[in-house]
Amino acid sequence: MGITEDVKSDLVVAMKAGERDRVTTLRLVLSELQKAAKEGSADELAVLRRERKRRAEAEQAFRDGGRGELADAEAAESEIISAYLPAELDDATLAELVARAVASTGAESAKDLGKVMPVVMAEVAGRADGKRVSEQVRAALASA
């Protein structure tokens, strides 16, 4: 069963349970998944990551603007979306992947960031944020 089907069934359960916030979030996610499928994109995880990132950015903007209640709502939506994504890599595992990629590409300095990033991102496959990966790669190249 795919993510879209999981979201549909969870939406029905949330509707029956009267969980308004969860229903709203799941409807939005389902809409985005269906829109992506209609446009020919079969990468459901990419859609979920994009939506989670939007929520995180909105949460930060609301917090910066002093709107705590709206930021909390965005954080809750992000949490619901995250439940459908694979678990994030821990720092040790990510560092190991980065070290392997640096060794395999022969990267020696920060100028080689462009060589290492695609290799690591392919290995990570959505289990870590690109910003986090970039920071790890920069740190590894700085110490190389």
**Using CA of residue 110, residue 115, residue 118, residue 119, what is the dihedral sign?**
negative
**Phi, psi dihedrals of residue 32, rounded to the nearest 5°:** -65, -40
The pTM (predicted TM-score) of the whole model is 0.74
Q: pLDDT per position in the chain (144 positions), as tens?
A: 688 999 999 999 999 999 999 999 999 999 999 999 999 877 888 899 899 999 999 999 999 999 999 999 999 999 999 999 888 888 888 889 888 988 888 888 788 888 888 888 888 877 888 888 888 888 888 876
User: Are the C-beta atoms of residues 98 and 140 closer than 8 Å to each other?
Assistant: yes
Domains of the chain: 3-82 (1.10.1510.10), 91-143 (1.10.10.410)
